Structure 1
Amino acid sequence: MPQVVTVAAVTAVLLLPAMHNRFPFVFPDTSAYLSVAYADSWPIDRAGFYGLLLAPALRSLDGPPGVWLAIVMQAAIIATVLVAACRKLLPRSRGWLIFALIAPIALLTSLSLHATQLMPDAFTGALILLAWLAASRNLADPGTPLMWLATAVLALVHYTHVGLIAVAVVATQIVCAVGGATIKEIAKRAMAAALTIAAVLSAHTAVYGAYFNRWSPSPLGGYFLFARLNEDGLVPRWFDRHCGVDAPKPLCDIRPEIPRDSQELLWGKEPSPLYDRINKRKGEPDSWLWVDMVSQAANGSLKEQPVEFARVATKATADQFVHYQALDDECPENCGNLKLFDWRPNLIESVRSSRQLTDGLPRTPIRLVTGTVATVGLLLLLPLLFLAVRRRDTLATSLLATLVLCLVANAAMAGALSDVHDRYQSRIIWLAPFAASLVMVRWRRRSELLASIAEEAKCPVTA
């Protein structure tokens, strides 16, 4: 089976949940991301590059056909990365074997559910695999610069992707160094990663500077951090010490009105004085004054209570490893009046008649199956990593080590900066059973393993 046919077959499998749903899966945040394509605007609290990536497909065909074209493109990108990862560990395998390996993972984990959701989380797992693929190759190898470029593109669609790239590259290079890669080659790969990350951060900063005259890669980052620290109790203690002394007086004046729940504070589910002053006036000069004030409170809380912050963040990080059920999409409850309906009224019928919004999905069985498979994969990761080290299989070791550390990093970023939601970890939890299956198949196929180890066990170094 030629590689293009394999990718097409995997893409078709990834699309099955959306076909069963009768439309790609949506989320309350979907409108913010697609505002770039549909409203010619740029979200100030989201990475708008996701909408920019899908814009050619969304705008080439009007209404539902454009959305379907976009989701096919999204699934094809993910399928390409999955097949490339399999080819890396199983270089002599036929296409049918690679398809047989990926298809069950796609259908029995959260992979296909995220791959067909109109959210940038769809690309997170693929980004980690792509960063590992790029970091385990010599820069002189054909196609490596293009792979780094693709990594940068996927990194642009979500703020957390920058951190995951860094973790993936560091993990891979540590294993490669132990496996025999030269310091010179390690330095080259580290430089490529640094340039990739710098390019991504610069792109975010440039866009926000051009649109809002706010030269920051995440202009509302302090606001989101404030909401989290306020819910955890760190900000109220900071208020107790600084209000009436050196804390911003306008912020202290509305302190009794600030809801403790971060979701109420940020999204105005209940009356929130900050929602009215920041969210409803995004980009206006007065709103930036409030963003600066809450950022001062958040930063001050962190500086004065690092131990308490570490304790709370550690607990939230651990919670991410027991909260990763699929379909944590807040629909149909909060998806009935998406903003994108104002931009494309011809989407209303298709979205509202989907099984997701008519509550016609068998959520309990889906969560039972995907959760069980994910848990088994998680339990296998560390034993397989131990065996990979014992077998001196450097390539498998680098993949497993990268995924273990990225799972922890993803949980830590979500745990430290946001509430615990299942979708934050479910977007990449499928990597555990995928890697476990891939490595076990690799070890069963002894001839391929020996050939691969002979060629790539040291994370190929320049002769």
Structure 2
Amino acid sequence: MSDSTATTTARLRVGSVAIPSVATIAIPLLLLAPALWNGYPLLQYDTGGYLARWYEGYLVPSRSTVFGLYLHFGEPWQFWTNLAMQAVATLWVLWTTLRVFGVTTHFRRLAIGLTLIATTALPWLASMLLTDIFAGLSVLTLVLLVAFSERTSWLEKLLLFAFTAFAAATHTGTFGVLLGLCLAALLFKPFLGARLSWAGIARGFAAVAVSAAMLLAANFALSGKLAWTPGGAGVTFGRMLQDGIVARYLNDHCDQVKLKLCPYRNELPATADDFLWGNSMFNTLGRFEGMDDEMRFIAVNALKAYPLWQAKAALIATLQQLTQVATGEGTNGWLPHTYGIIERYLPDQARAMRNARQQHWDINFAAVNTVHVPVALGSMLLLLTILGHATWRRRLDDVTLLAGTVALALLGNAFICGVVSGPHDRYGARMVWLSTFVVLIVVARWFAARERFRPQGLFARKASTPSL
């Protein structure tokens, strides 16, 4: 072997070791770059409600006790252990998915990871004390668990199952999306044949069932009540209020039914957020404890009274939610409830929290979204193009199955969040990065296919030329 050949071989060996080593260290650090720059984990409107579950011992609407316990275990280290677990979990899910879908070169994996970090909400989700990072990742783990488990080891199957179950228990919206995907798998099984096994579908349903048991157990342990996380009726009522349906129902029925809101029917706030979380009559009437039964009554009966209006409002809300994908909603310097919870229950962290850049309004999400929003919307269009091309070619391969699952997840997320809670950018941003990920997988596989069929240099071209 010549010196030059030996040198080249040595460089290739060093590169084959260096790239995965760099990726293993660099990707998690870059995923946590927003929090590291901030000086403290990023906070959001809802963070305080989750943190308080351990201390307050009662159930609060839309605040999972499972996620509250997860945060509690990271309190001694100012939650940096939580962020570290989120970053490592993100790296593991991304790398496992890329391996399963044939993106095996370390350079391409690193390139995909860096592209996601630079152009999507992924690092902001990983750097935040919120359930949102688990929403998108759990779609990928469910896909691997249900449709591609034969390409994973028994340990990976166990981890995929555990992660999916935990993620579903952290937020009712995530639970609904994953349950919907399992039902879709059951529905499409006759058409997909061997691509979906009954055992895989059973694993998906089992993971969702375990998540439900996990949530019920956590609720019972912390509150003494064997109950689901409350708040569904109130949140749905808020969306109907925002659409004008509640005001119409009160005007049409207050002469027949005595309701607490009747005297306020001409003073209702314009948005659900103003009603539920602002200084509205909702506070005067006892908030969820005093209004839950009435909000449920109005929501159910308004659905019966105005079915066409409700259907139109649901369609509009779903379409609006699909387009609301900006990063950073609710992550700013005005979070009085979250600040209050930290100062009350974690006073030793109050100074670090108050000194963080977020609390000084130093995060410019407008600049961030000049990149994130076009990439998100463009990726969804490309996702539809991938599915359209596969349909036209009548070809169902692995990537098409993944693309179809992600499309269903985005649609299901938009329907659940848009119809129940009303459209919010936060709900879109936590899932839409999946479409960018699928597009990057397609691009990587295209380059790999070109390389397989490309002649390797001058000698390959000469060898392929027939002699005369």
TM over 0.5: yes
Compute the displacement of 1:4 (Å). Answer: 8.2
1:394 equivalent in structure 2? 397
2:460 equivalent in structure 1? none
Equivalents in 1 of 2:276, 2:88: separation in Å?
34
Deviations 1:131-176 (A, max 9, x none): 1111113589624344222210111111111121123335556677
Q: Assess if the C-alpha contact under 8 Å between 1:232 and 1:312 holds in 2.
A: yes
Matches within 5 A, 1:263-412: 263-267=273-277, 269-272=278-281, 274-279=282-287, 287=289, 290-335=291-336, 337-389=339-391, 390=393, 392-412=395-415
Q: Does 1:158 align with 2:181?
A: no
Equivalents in 2 of 1:10, 1:25: separation in Å?
18
1:76 equivalent in structure 2? 88
Q: Assess if the C-alpha contact under 8 Å between 2:51 and 2:341 holds in 1.
A: no
1:224 counterpart (221, 228, 235):
235
Matches within 5 A, 1:229-248: 229-245=240-256, 247-248=257-258
Deviations 1:349-402 (A, max 9, x none): 322322222222233321101122222212211112233453835210111001
Residues 178/20 of structure 1: CA separation in 2 closer, same or farther (3 Å cut): same
Compute the displacement of 1:419 (Å). Answer: 2.9
Compute the displacement of 1:119 (Å). Answer: 0.7
Q: Does 1:440 align with 2:446?
A: no
Q: Assess if the C-alpha contact under 8 Å between 2:232 and 2:420 holds in 1.
A: no
Compute the displacement of 1:404 (Å). Answer: 0.9
Compute the displacement of 1:212 (Å). Answer: 5.0
Compute the displacement of 1:16 (Å). Answer: 1.4
Equivalents in 2 of 1:379, 1:331: separation in Å?
30
Deviations 1:212-258 (A, max 9, x none): 5655423221122122212222222322343343x354454565565
SS of equivalent residue, structure 1 residue 160: helix
In percent, how many aligned pairs have the same letter?
25
Two-structure CA RMSD over aligned residues (Å): 2.9
1:419 counterpart (418, 422, 435):
422
Compute the displacement of 1:125 (Å). Answer: 0.9
Q: Assess if the C-alpha contact under 8 Å between 2:323 and 2:428 holds in 1.
A: no
1:18 equivalent in structure 2? 35
Q: Does 1:181 align with 2:183?
A: no
2:8 equivalent in structure 1? none
TM-score under structure 2 length normalisation: 0.83
SS of equivalent residue, structure 2 residue 52: helix
Residues 80/21 of structure 1: CA separation in 2 closer, same or farther (3 Å cut): same
One-letter amino acid of the structure 1 residue matched with residue 358 of structure 2: Q
Compute the displacement of 1:299 (Å). Answer: 0.8
Residues 262/145 of structure 1: CA separation in 2 closer, same or farther (3 Å cut): same
Equivalents in 2 of 1:352, 1:12: separation in Å?
23
Residues 70/209 of structure 1: CA separation in 2 closer, same or farther (3 Å cut): closer
Residues 445/175 of structure 1: CA separation in 2 closer, same or farther (3 Å cut): farther
Q: Assess if the C-alpha contact under 8 Å between 1:175 and 1:397 holds in 2.
A: no
1:459 equivalent in structure 2? none
Q: Assess if the C-alpha contact under 8 Å between 1:6 and 1:96 holds in 2.
A: no
Equivalents in 2 of 1:42, 1:102: separation in Å?
40
Equivalents in 2 of 1:449, 1:251: separation in Å?
68
Equivalents in 2 of 1:225, 1:428: separation in Å?
21
Matches within 5 A, 1:133-212: 133-138=144-149, 142=154, 143-171=156-184, 178-181=191-194, 186-208=197-219
Q: Does 1:118 align with 2:121?
A: no
Residues 248/131 of structure 1: CA separation in 2 closer, same or farther (3 Å cut): farther
Residues 242/207 of structure 1: CA separation in 2 closer, same or farther (3 Å cut): farther
SS of equivalent residue, structure 1 residue 27: coil
Which range moved further: 441-450 or 312-321?
441-450
Equivalents in 1 of 2:420, 2:191: separation in Å?
33
Q: Assess if the C-alpha contact under 8 Å between 2:343 and 2:350 holds in 1.
A: yes
Compute the displacement of 1:114 (Å). Answer: 1.1
Q: Which runs of 5+ in 1 are unaligned?
A: 451-463
Compute the displacement of 1:277 (Å). Answer: 4.0
One-letter amino acid of the structure 1 residue matched with residue 402 of structure 2: L
Residues 174/295 of structure 1: CA separation in 2 closer, same or farther (3 Å cut): closer
Residues 265/446 of structure 1: CA separation in 2 closer, same or farther (3 Å cut): same
Compute the displacement of 1:101 (Å). Answer: 1.4
Name whichever structure is richer in helix by fraction.
2
